[in-house]
Structure 1
Amino acid sequence: MLAAIKSFGSVASAARSRGLLFLSTQITLPTSKASDLVTPFEKNKHTKLKIPTKRAASLLQQLEAEAVANYSKGKHIETFKPGDSVEVHYLLSRTSSRVQRVKGVVLARRNRGTGSSFILRNHIGGYGYEQKIFLHSPLLQSVKVLQEAFIHKGKKRVRRAKLFYLREKAPSFTTV
């Protein structure tokens, strides 16, 4: 903006010196600092990311971070890891107010921004079932940790990120 005012002022003075009527008003600059007159566009003329695809990816990352923050508002989600036993409360549908309660052992966690999810496993009536639950789903109400390191009965920590080997183990490992 400051550069535009200066160039406009030089054009106006050149027109006056030639006897041309260019503009009858006088341009006065405020007495504030010159850095205050610079617009954000002129200030960021030399961006760090010059390649358009990288700049777009950076903007999408910022939008995704804002979306994750918005989805997390009003939800009570404790931090949990694979191997923990958790209790999940979620709505059956967007229109109903019925809340489903599910308990199980976390087999895996997938951290992908708004697409983050985890796999829950439990045994009911002698049959094992698994359920994939999205962390930032509008249906999810809360996640409560019942016991940490459930598969080792809390005595030692779980050293794997994906516990798919528990599918072949005895049902007692994943029955909550």
Structure 2
Amino acid sequence: MDIIRAIEAEQIKKDLPNIEVGDTVQVYYRIIEGTRERIQVFEGTIIKIQGESSRKTFTVRRLSYGVGVERTFLLNSPRISKLEITRKGKVRRAKLFYLRDRQGKSAKVKGRTNY
């Protein structure tokens, strides 16, 4: 098992910020279409973080034209070119699934000022 942990340790990115559930983030994701490559920004609130080490994933939710869109990203994926935290959130839960049922102001997460 030590061989597997050693391989996983090589694949972990060191330059990522410390993200938490409730944070509003911008994920710069590289999309490959045929021979072309472009970067698409996905901005939303982190509602779930799961896994550990190189298998860590996080789910980002945003509203797009009144429809909720969720996308799960691998934290250490080579396709993520940049990850920016735009706002820190103050939450009391590990998973924010209750945001799926809410719209408008009730779907907002309180901001944290001391970070």
TM-score band, normalised by shorter chain = 0.7 to 0.9
Matches within 5 A, 1:13-162: 57-68=1-12, 72=13, 76-93=15-32, 95-149=35-89, 157-162=90-95
- Describe the superposition over 1:13-60 as per-residue Cα deviations: whole angstroms up to 9, x where unpaired: xxxxxxxxxxxxxxxxxxxxxxxxxxxxxxxxxxxxxxxxxxxx1232
2:36, 2:53 → 1: CA distance? 27
User: Which structure 2 residue ranges, 5 or more long, are not aligned?
Assistant: 110-115
Which secondary structure does the structure 1 equivalent of 2:84 belong to? strand
Task: Please say if residues 83 and 163 of structure 1, whose CA atoms lie closer than 8 Å, have aligned partners that are also in contact.
Answer: yes
TM-score, length-normalised on structure 1? 0.55
Structure number with the bigger relative contact order (C-alpha 8 A, sep ≥ 6) is 2
User: Which structure 1 residue ranges, 5 or more long, are not aligned?
Assistant: 1-56, 150-156
Task: Please say if residues 105 and 174 of structure 1, whose CA atoms lie closer than 8 Å, have aligned partners that are also in contact.
Answer: no
Is 1:170 matched with 2:103? yes
Higher-Rg structure is: 1
1:166, 1:77 → 2: CA distance? 26
Bigger fraction of residues in strand: 2
Which secondary structure does the structure 2 equivalent of 1:66 belong to? helix
Identical aligned residues as a percent: 29
What letter matches 2:30 in structure 1?
L
The total of aligned residue pairs comes to 107
| Cα-Cα RMSD | 2.1
Bigger fraction of residues in helix: 1
